[in-house]
């Protein structure tokens, strides 16, 4: 039965309909589907093509299955976008089926986690740290993986006892977690929800002896997000051993999301600020301290090429993480400070035409 929702509100899931075991596609949200063996039904291809959505960030996947007559192997590529899918469609005689997941057609309202956020914050008084928003969840052994990742984050980030400006005994990383609402949430959604959670918390009804609007030193100007890439970084890192020099090639990192929307910040030239940066786990306490005097934008290295991601390392320069395949052929952001508001707007329009909205960071 065909869904009544328009195509741009659908999310496509692709799997082989003849295989005994499900084709293990990584959960992504595609806008178009292509198959080199031309095995998709024409009507599905046509409806996808008519959506008018442009493809981005290809995710190749190889699917294998055996038919009664011969072994069949082919590759299909799925592209990511923002569309949603809510029905199941099959085409008779085709080895392929479009499957769906029962999701709401409207964006998930992750601000509903205010109760969880309030509960996590009410137990903190003089602790310092960051709120951790978890957007990555494993299909198997999720609790075990998350416990291991969180332990490594805590171990790497906790300052040593000697000469530490922040007391390691009061270091806290309150976690906000909900697989149904937060799985795969982007940074903009997390930012919006984080600000709503804070507003709800500071506006709560307080007892007479609860005279502090924000009783802890957990930061309100930024939060940590553990997405799939950050989770993999933590899981792949070796166990932390205090006093031992860490392997810099396997040093774990996390993502820090600015509470302020980068779209509302003035443009000062160069690559637009994306509203987030990566940071090594071992310099978390330094990042916490530096945010007292400088904004996350000021602490983030300025990108040179499109696709690069800023990395806070604790040094004044920081680093830039190149995209897979390097920066050859990538757009190079203009240098220098634009002259006046019109100059800034013209430079932003040039960048937007070259890299699209995703490259702008918002």
Please check whether residue 104 lies inside any domain of the structure. Answer: no
Structural domain count of the chain: 2
Could you report the per-residue pLDDT of 194-242, keeping only the tens digit for each? 999 999 999 988 877 777 889 999 999 999 999 999 999 999 999 998 8
CA 117, CA 105: separation in Å to the nearest integer? 25
Does residue 37 surpass a pLDDT of 60? no
Does residue 285 surpass a pLDDT of 60? yes
Residue 3, pLDDT score: 36
Q: Are residues 80 and 119 in the same domain?
A: no
Could you report the per-residue pLDDT of 112-158, keeping only the tens digit for each? 899 999 999 988 988 999 999 999 999 888 999 999 999 999 999 99
Q: Are residues 92 and 133 in the same domain?
A: no
Q: Are residues 33 and 56 in the same domain?
A: yes
CA dihedral defined by 340, 341, 342, 343, rounded to 10 degrees?
Answer: 50
Please check whether residue 119 lies inside any domain of the structure. Answer: yes
Element (H, E) at 201: helix 187-202
Q: How many CB atoms lie within 10 A of CB 317?
A: 7
Q: Are residues 52 and 125 in the same domain?
A: no
Residue 205, pLDDT score: 80
pTM of the model: 0.70
Q: Are residues 47 and 169 in the same domain?
A: no
Please check whether residue 105 lies inside any domain of the structure. Answer: no
Q: Are residues 144 and 78 in the same domain?
A: no
Q: Are residues 49 and 159 in the same domain?
A: no
Q: Are residues 201 and 249 in the same domain?
A: yes
Range of the domain at 65: 7-99
Q: Are residues 286 and 333 in the same domain?
A: yes
Q: How many CB atoms lie within 10 A of CB 75?
A: 12
pLDDT band at 107 (very low <50, low <70, confident <90, very high): low
Does residue 79 surpass a pLDDT of 60? no
Please check whether residue 221 lies inside any domain of the structure. Answer: yes
Would you state the structure tokens that stand for residue 326, as one six-digit string? 């390097």
- According to DSSP, the residues that pair with 305 across neighbouring strands are 332
Please check whether residue 198 lies inside any domain of the structure. Answer: yes
Q: Are residues 90 and 171 in the same domain?
A: no
Q: Are residues 224 and 155 in the same domain?
A: yes
| Overall average pLDDT of the 312-331 stretch | 95
Residue 163, pLDDT score: 52
Q: Is-contact 335 327, C-beta < 8 A?
A: no
CA 101, CA 293: separation in Å to the nearest integer? 46
Alpha helices in 24-69 (DSSP H): 42-49
Does residue 353 surpass a pLDDT of 60? yes
Please check whether residue 115 lies inside any domain of the structure. Answer: yes
C-alpha distances (whole Å) from 10 to each of 22, 25, 76, 88 are 21, 17, 19, 11
Please check whether residue 1 lies inside any domain of the structure. Answer: no
From 99, 123, 142, give the residue that closes a domain. Answer: 99
Q: Are residues 251 and 327 in the same domain?
A: yes
Residue count of the chain, please give it: 362
Please check whether residue 124 lies inside any domain of the structure. Answer: yes
Q: Is-contact 267 338, C-beta < 8 A?
A: yes
287: Cβ–Cβ under 8 A, 6 or more apart, which residues? Answer: 256, 279, 299, 312, 314
Q: Is-contact 290 299, C-beta < 8 A?
A: yes
| Overall average pLDDT of the 71-94 stretch | 33
* Mean confidence (pLDDT) of the chain: 75
From 41, 72, 99, give the residue that closes a domain. Answer: 99
Rounded to 10°, the helix 142-157/228-236 angle is 70
| Overall average pLDDT of the 332-348 stretch | 88
CA 22, CA 173: separation in Å to the nearest integer? 37
From 99, 127, 145, give the residue that closes a domain. Answer: 99
- According to DSSP, the residues that pair with 264 across neighbouring strands are none
Could you report the per-residue pLDDT of 249-280, keeping only the tens digit for each? 899 999 999 999 999 999 988 999 999 999 99
Within 13 Å and on the Cβ side, how many CA atoms surround 73?
2
């Amino acid at each position: 039965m065909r869904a009544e929702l328009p195509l741009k509100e659908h999310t496509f899931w692709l799997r082989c309909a003849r295989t005994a075991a499900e084709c293990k596609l990584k959960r992504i949200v595609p806008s178009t589907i292509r198959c080199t063996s031309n095995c998709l039904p024409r009507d599905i291809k046509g409806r996808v093509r008519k959506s008018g959505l442009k493809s981005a960030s290809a995710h190749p996947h190889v699917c294998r299955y055996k038919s009664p007559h011969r072994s069949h192997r082919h590759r299909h590529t799925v592209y990511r976008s923002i569309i949603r899918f809510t029905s199941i469609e099959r085409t008779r005689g085709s080895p392929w089926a479009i499957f769906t997941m029962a999701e709401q057609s409207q964006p998930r309202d992750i601000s509903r986690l205010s109760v969880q956020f309030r509960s996590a914050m009410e137990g903190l008084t003089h602790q310092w740290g960051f709120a951790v928003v978890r957007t990555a969840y494993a299909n198997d052994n999720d609790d075990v993986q998350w416990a291991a990742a969180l332990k490594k984050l805590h171990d790497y980030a906790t300052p040593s006892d000697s000469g530490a400006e922040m007391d390691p005994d009061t270091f806290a990383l309150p976690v906000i977690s909900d697989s149904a609402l937060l799985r795969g949430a982007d940074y903009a959604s997390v930012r919006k929800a984080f600000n709503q959670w804070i507003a709800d918390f500071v506006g709560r009804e307080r007892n007479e002896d609860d005279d502090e609007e924000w009783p802890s030193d957990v930061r309100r100007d930024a939060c940590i997000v553990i997405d799939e890439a950050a989770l993999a970084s933590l899981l792949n890192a070796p166990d932390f051993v205090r006093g031992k020099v860490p392997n810099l090639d396997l040093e774990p990192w996390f993502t820090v999301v600015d509470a302020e929307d980068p779209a509302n910040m003035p443009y000062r030239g160069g690559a637009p600020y994306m509203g987030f940066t990566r940071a090594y786990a071992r310099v978390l306490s330094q990042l916490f301290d530096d945010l007292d005097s400088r904004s996350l934008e000021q602490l983030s290295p300025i990108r040179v090429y499109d696709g690069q991601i800023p990395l806070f390392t604790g040094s004044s320069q920081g680093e830039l993480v190149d995209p897979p395949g390097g920066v050859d052929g990538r757009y190079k952001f203009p240098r220098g400070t634009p002259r006046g508001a019109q100059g800034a707007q013209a430079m932003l329009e040039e960048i937007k035409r070259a890299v699209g909205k995703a490259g702008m960071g918002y």
